[in-house]
Amino acid sequence: MIDSSIAARLVTRRATRHPQLQCPKRQRVTGQNRADDRRADEDPRCPVRRRSCGRRDGGDAARDGDALLLCGRFAHKLLNDLMENYSTALRPVEDTDKSLNVTLQVTLSQLKDMDERNQVLIAYLWIRQTWHDAHLKWNKEEYDGLEVIRIPSSLVWRPDLVLYNKADDDFSGPVDTNVVLRYNGEITWDAPAITKSSCVVDVSYFPFDSQQCNLTFGSWTYNGNQVDITMGMDSGDLSDFVENVEWECHGMPATKNVIMYGCCSDPYPDITYTVLLQRRSSFYIFNLLLPCFLISFLAPLSFYLPADSGEKVSLGVTVLLALTVFQMMVAESMPPSENVPLIGKYYVATMTMITASTSLTIFIMNIHFCGAEAKPVPYWAKVIIIDYMSKIFFVYEVGESCTSPFGQMEESESFRQNQKRKLHPKEKPKAAPPPCCPDNDKSAAFTLTFDPCVYCSGGILGCDPKLVWNVEYIANCFREQKATCLKVAEWKKVAKVMDRIFMWIFFIMVFLMSILIIGKAP
């Protein structure tokens, strides 16, 4: 099989000796000569089917392979011609007094992470830079219509655009990808980059907060008179954005700024892209807010728990510890700042309320366990708390209803005393019976003696005064014991009514506090 290059030489030599075998000249004009061009391409006398490197019309594999081989030779020759006296150290402008325009366009592909504690935004960007190189132009007709070549970016001059608010220890720039070079000197450089930029995070309304993070790009050494930066679009491109599970991106507007620094009198332009982020709050509602909301409703229930159970204070302390754990979880993820997050305020308010409820529980338990040595319940407390508040909050003792309140026990006792006076109208008042014997003098107790007249006479009062005195003594002890029990029962009822009052007060406080805190969310 004859090599294609040898065959081309043989055909060329034959065409020189015999003009009728020459390949017809291809017309590089429009419309009317396209048929002639097609016939010239298909003429077997041509050593290589001449096709423009700037277009690909399709065809069989052999034909395309020969065309690509020819284009590769022209591209190699073009690259050698362009790089013969080219320097990447100087701005590629014909007049050094003129500025070089660089068009910047940023595409946000993905938000990798938002570190609120360190205030760093990690994003995956596609950065496109476009400029014109005055030293990299060619006449495409001289290179068989070759219009575009792709060469390594290290071979050409590149603008030194950097991210001003970079927060990464690695100072390496974008990836050294190829640049697209056109015959008119236009260079397009597309490079992916993972950026770590500083972002001022405001967590005042966490977890219903929104953040604005800036990405500021500008030249590090060239001023505005040397390299001018323009925006390719009014905002960043979000067409290929991959949705984030925690943040919603609501836009990426771009603005151009011209800043005069104190060190230099020349203007320095930059382009700032503002990433508008809104936090997805569902995760935090179900994992932080809802548990706190449910736990806070346990604090008023400690007032409903019976005081004799001995678990009222333990319940308040347990709820307080549970909220402390949630508060620590929120504090670990938030940056240390003076702005307390919204959920932190909710936790602090709930913890304060639980602390107050626990303190009131201790105070009410002290009232509940007042012994016999305590003073009687004041009259105003009987009227306000026992008579009125107990009816409002439906606090009744066992066997007591709204028709037989607690205060009628004394009235029934006075009723029995009046009936006794009516049965014995001529009875003379007797001296007050002796008090109950103290515990250390039980040996001095009187001994009951019964004479025969006790059983034969018509009544006890006319038989034996000593027996009557002993009976009156026993009755007096029962009265004192009953009065002591009545006093203790009154204090217990006061404590129970206060428990019920504070329970409803704290229920209303929890509900209103939750509504106020959540209502502040933007």
> Residue 341 is encoded by which pair of tokens?
């997050």
pLDDT at 68: 55
User: For residue 185, what pLDDT band results from cuts at 50, 70 and 90?
Assistant: very high
Question: 100-115 and 227-231: which strand pairing?
Answer: parallel
What share of the chain has pLDDT > 70, as a percent?
A: 72
Q: How many angstroms separate the first and last alpha carbons of the chain?
A: 80
pLDDT digits (tens, 9 = 90+) for 107-139: 999 999 998 888 999 999 999 999 999 999 999
> Residue 72 is encoded by which pair of tokens?
């590769």
Q: Distance (Å, rounded) from C-alpha 94 to C-alpha 151?
A: 22
pLDDT digits (tens, 9 = 90+) for 470-487: 888 888 888 877 877 777
Q: Are 78 and 143 in contact (CB under 8 A)?
A: yes
Q: Residue 384, exposed/middle/buried by CB under 10 A (0-12, 13-18, 19+)? A: middle
pLDDT digits (tens, 9 = 90+) for 281-340: 888 888 888 888 888 888 888 888 887 787 888 888 888 888 888 888 888 777 777 778
Compute CA distances 303 → 309, 354, 499, 507, whole Å: 12, 11, 5, 11
Between 282 and 10, the higher pLDDT residue = 282
Calculate helix-pair angle for 312-333, 342-368, nearest 10 degrees.
170
Angle at 53 between CA 29 and CA 182, to 5 degrees: 95
Of these ranges, 68-77, 224-233, 321-330, 418-427, the one predicted with the greatest mean pLDDT is 224-233
Compute CA distances 17 → 25, 26, 197, whole Å: 17, 21, 72
Reply yes or no on whether the pLDDT at 383 is more than 90.
Answer: no
Q: Distance (Å, rounded) from C-alpha 216 to C-alpha 272?
A: 4
Average pLDDT of every residue of the chain: 76
pLDDT at 372: 67
Between 465 and 49, the higher pLDDT residue = 465
Read off the pTM. Answer: 0.66
Q: Distance (Å, rounded) from C-alpha 471 to C-alpha 433?
A: 10
Work out the average pLDDT over 361-369.
84
Q: Are 353 and 299 in contact (CB under 8 A)?
A: yes
Reply yes or no on whether the pLDDT at 427 is more than 80.
Answer: no
Three state DSSP letters for 481-517? HHHHHHHHHHHHHHHHHHHHHHHHHHHHHHHHHHHHH
Reply yes or no on whether the pLDDT at 509 is more than 80.
Answer: yes
Instruction: Give the CA count within 13 Å in the CB-facing half-sphere of 329.
Output: 14
Q: Are 326 and 108 in contact (CB under 8 A)?
A: no
Residue 96's SS3 state is coil
Residue 451's SS3 state is coil
SS3 content of the chain, % helix, strand, coil (to 5): 45, 20, 35
502: closest CA among 378, 363, 326?
363
* Phi–psi pair at 175, nearest 5 degrees: -70, 140
pLDDT at 462: 54
pLDDT digits (tens, 9 = 90+) for 239-254: 999 999 999 999 999 9
Ordered by where they begin, the domains of the chain are 77-279 (2.70.170.10), 282-394+472-521 (no CATH)
Q: Residue 498, exposed/middle/buried by CB under 10 A (0-12, 13-18, 19+)? A: buried
pLDDT digits (tens, 9 = 90+) for 18-42: 444 444 444 443 444 444 444 444 4
Q: Are 240 and 114 in contact (CB under 8 A)?
A: no
Using CA atoms in the order 496, 502, 508, 509, what is the torsion angle rounded to 10 degrees? Answer: -160
Using alpha carbons only, how large is the chain's radius of gyration in Å? Answer: 50
Between 456 and 118, the higher pLDDT residue = 118
pLDDT at 438: 43
Reply yes or no on whether the pLDDT at 63 is more than 70.
Answer: no
Work out the average pLDDT over 34-54.
45
Q: Distance (Å, rounded) from C-alpha 173 to C-alpha 154?
A: 13
Q: Distance (Å, rounded) from C-alpha 431 to C-alpha 411?
A: 24
Residue 335's SS3 state is coil
